[in-house]
Chain A
């Protein structure tokens, strides 16, 4: 019998009950909650007169529609100008109070994007199952945890039973071999992967990312890669545990301590795929071939390296692709353009659960330091992923570098990634964004999103259009 993959091991260690039809009851160790996908779940509990099974397994923070300007943030929830957003955040506060769930409210320095906060606090641990009513929960797979997004009914199900009814996915290995080139980041790697396998390439699979190109990434880089597994259609992204993982977790507020720490570290050593494990699918990329990536269309798979021409609909053979490309060209207003350097940018957004951690901000600051954002730009904003990321950045003086260069320094939240708060694109505006989705209307009605790494977004802010960050930093 062949060995087990990391996914197999995580599945087996959380199996409560296997059913004859292939579905199973899986135990959930950590549920992260935010204001958008939880109110109806709490309401469901109340209607059925149910209580959470284990409140200590939940951690909540508002993120999706919190404002990011100082003016609105100064008085916490009361300062939210949009009355509908305010009700939603207040509802989360009330529900957490009622059910006794730990919440980092808007006034808490630990508040931030759920997928930044969980790992930062050591709430996310290797070997766990982690769920959240948000598809980017795959982020936590970077810790060798089985993590995926769920809908609101399942949020309620986990609250009430501590379990989920699941069917096991198939195993896919995406291996990235070799050392990454200068200024090529985790974001470029994952965009290149999505470009290769497509937005449905991972549907039905749990993807394990491996190879030296992945192993050499920091935990923050690994989170960026796993974060976008869902953009390749896979609910689960995973990376094996190694010293980098253990070092990152050590000493965090909710990480195990003392004897528990030693036990945990010993157990985590097994959180790798066995040498003889069989994957249903293996995809290999060479690091040296990955260049800085930019999306040109309305799906994350519509991505090219910065030096490539924008692909044309008429050159596509697959009729579905041809039609999709034609629609994307029209929506993105690309007529008459040949490369992404021809696109004049209106806004730049550095933030989101994909790229708002301290290393992302350091890289962006390094690029803009001593430079000025292009005068043609309407706005460039930097939105840290949590209050603690913000504090760390300010300690390092990064906010001064951003502000001196002409970027706005904001308060933590999801912000312009999905534009549920006031940060959004106007119709027809092009944005270089470090977020994860470039769907039609995602960042605002009629808005045009181009996904890039923090370094590429920073370079684009300076140039006013897309440019290879390598070329920019040379000058």
Chain B
């Protein structure tokens, strides 16, 4: 996994509450068996006028002119400013894959849906919860000035606004550690093999019916 330490980038304001995972990446693109290539279909229905198809070339598709990522000034954004309950709905990891593939490194919102929030960390994408007023201020600053950039410092758990205002944010120490170092958490869990084995042994005595092999 790509580490996340400090990032400064252009911020795109997506002023819409309850953005669900169907909006982030519609279902027809979930048929891919790969983890990459979803960026061109990120927010497909909000971004294009027509219905997108898997494996379709997207340059030349009619754009919804008013959608934030279609505005020339936000095209190369790497920080997404969003509203409450971002990422609600399905567990599809294709949603963070699409955000990552487009070029986003972080999403800032007043709240996130649980599964989406969790999925982001597995993909080097940092979801940041700030107070609603702080997110409001970032929206104001980012829309006031073209090319406004936000800096995110994971080590110090700090967001710096385009005008220099600083906001601190919370993040679980384990997730932070993995993200800072780009660690694959499967490898880390496997270091606990002994604990897992001894749990299994104990559990097999208490509840042996949970360990029967299933006939086909």
Contact surface of A with B, Cβ cutoff 8 Å: 16-17, 19-23, 25, 27, 29, 36-37, 39-40, 43-44, 48, 50, 53, 56, 59, 64-65, 82, 84-85, 87-88, 91, 102, 123, 125, 127-128, 133-135, 137, 148-154, 156-157, 160-163, 165, 167, 199-200, 203-204, 230, 233, 235, 254, 256, 260-261, 263-264, 267, 299, 320, 323-324, 327, 418-420, 427, 437, 439-442, 445-446
Contact A233 B88 (CB under 8 A): yes
Q: List 6 A-B contacts (CB under 8 A).
A: A16-B196, A23-B172, A157-B185, A161-B196, A199-B88, A261-B209
Which residues in B have their C-beta under 8 angstroms from that of A134?
Answer: 90-91
A134 to B93, CA, bound (A): 10
Contact A162 B196 (CB under 8 A): yes
Contact with A along B200-213 (1 / 0, CB 8 A): 10010011111111
A127 to B123, CA, bound (A): 31
Contact B115 A135 (CB under 8 A): yes
Which residues in B have their C-beta under 8 angstroms from that of A167?
Answer: 172
Contact with A along B14-51 (1 / 0, CB 8 A): 00111010110011101111110000000001000001
Which residues in A have their C-beta under 8 angstroms from that of B203?
Answer: 27
Select the stretch in B59-67, B139-147, B186-194 that faces chain A. B186-194
Given contacts A37-B91, A320-B84, A445-B45, contact A437 B210 (CB under 8 A): no
Contact B189 A157 (CB under 8 A): yes
- State how many angstroms separate the Cβ of A349 from the closest Cβ of chain B: 15
Contact A21 B172 (CB under 8 A): yes
A137 to B91, CA, bound (A): 10
Contact B195 A87 (CB under 8 A): no
Contact A154 B27 (CB under 8 A): no
B114 proximal to A (CB < 8 A): yes
Given contacts A56-B212, A150-B91, contact A440 B186 (CB under 8 A): no
Given contacts A203-B114, A256-B212, contact A165 B174 (CB under 8 A): yes
Contact A200 B111 (CB under 8 A): yes
Contact A203 B111 (CB under 8 A): yes
Choose among B54, B55, B84, B196 the residue with the greatest number of A CB atoms under 10 Å from its CB: B196
Given contacts A21-B172, A43-B33, contact A441 B113 (CB under 8 A): no
Which residues in B have their C-beta under 8 angstroms from that of A299?
Answer: 18, 20
Of B28, B91, B172, the residue contacting A149 (CB under 8 A) is B91
